[in-house]
Amino acid sequence: MAHWLRVLLLLLLVAPPAAVAQDAGGEQVIVIFRDDVDAARRERVLRQAGAVPTRHFAHARASAARLVTPGARQALERHPDVVRVIPDRAIEKHAKPTGGSTTTGAQVVPAGVQRIGAAPGSLPLTGAGVGVAVVDTGLDFSHRDLQPLGGVCFTAFTSCQDDEGHGTHVGGIIAARDNAVDVVGVAPDALLYAVKVLDRKGRGTDSTLMAGLDWIVDQTLQGALTPPVRVVNMSLGRPGTLDDNPALRALVQALYNLGITVVVSAGNDPDREVAQQVPATYPEVLAVASTTALDGSNACRFVSGFVAMDTASWFTTDGRFDPTTGIGVTASAPGEDRENITRSCALTSVGILSTRLGGGTTRMAGTSMAAPHVAGVAALLVEQDATVGPEGVRSKIRTGAARHDVAPLDSPASAYSFDGEREGILSAPGALAAP
């Protein structure tokens, strides 16, 4: 029964994106060029081969294009300037709504913020002056609990304002203001930038994601943002492998080399490991799995026990961290409030409470919600020590985790596949105290 419950819930939460982005005019691809080929030459090569360029990336020797003539792919693959032609694969958010919307109300400290020890007044730091880029569906610029500094948009036919809600929810977990209304985030004084790469359905492509990351690299190198971006959150992804898009990884590496900590949701597929998820598989990122923040209830007489606080979420992708390769889950953090077992023995998720598009609050669940808890703690660590880099953040978070070697716990109600490592639960006080 437990396995059947998990399969049913997984079908509801995870809808795999199309493997390749398509357009009415032809297949969308990413063309990787030799390092010495500049943007102007890339443009000529693409057009001569029968492709229409859609984006050139300044900090990865690659361009996105649409193939419009028969034989365009073959012509590009034969060209001496071209290293590789790959599909422009679809990506998507790692969450779904779970209800519980409100429109107004006094400030609530969400269960996830409480679980990681970041409730207001419990820490000496608030993320003040730290720039965090939310690479997502955008942010609600009018939400009284967010007030992002600015944004940039790489989706078609839409503004940089959030039109889906996912990015607004993620942003609230990171940095909802401590202002007596709605909710409060992990780092309430951190400053958010909206980098919109997903559309109103929570979907995008490798190329829209690459455009967002390319922009962050460019703005950082130019010193154009005040404060500069020091943390990036990506609560999104797709099935994939480490080397299936070298240009995307090159942009993540560029962020890493600039000292920017990149936090990524592990994914919502318990039958996969992080090594099978992009960009979570990249060694340069901090991949985050999901756990419950509170004890759940059990009304089913066929299941013994209940889903306790710090249990691995039924939907989470996982994967033991390998210090040699750098691949694997860096931390587990709350991606849902609790899991309840109903009288009919169904497993139901109560999502994390955070900011809602249009005002007020709403609940969502997924590794999308786990990652911004880590991004918020990363902002606290940068405020504590402006020189800390991605590996320093990773080390402090892993060293300072609560219930190390004990949690994440196994669930009595799902067939979660334990990956062999109980890395503990994200702890803001523990990370700040770690050497």
Q: Which residues are catalytic?
A: 136, 166, 368
Distances from the Cα of 18 to the Cαs of 54, 93, 177, 211, 412, in angstroms? 20, 13, 37, 20, 33
Contacts of 273 (CB under 8 A, 6+ apart): 317, 318, 319, 419
Say which amino acid occupies 395: S
Buried b (16+ CB within 10 A) or exposed e, 151-177: bbbbbeeeebbbbbbbbbbbbbbbbbb
Residue 247 identity: A
Give burial (CB, 10 Å; 0-12/13-18/19+) of 133.
buried
| Cβ pair 193, 219 in contact under 8 A | no
Count of residues in the chain = 435
Degrees, nearest 5: CA angle 426-432-435:
105
Q: For 416, phi and psi rounded to 5 degrees?
A: -55, 135
CB hemisphere CA count around 54 (13 angstroms): 23
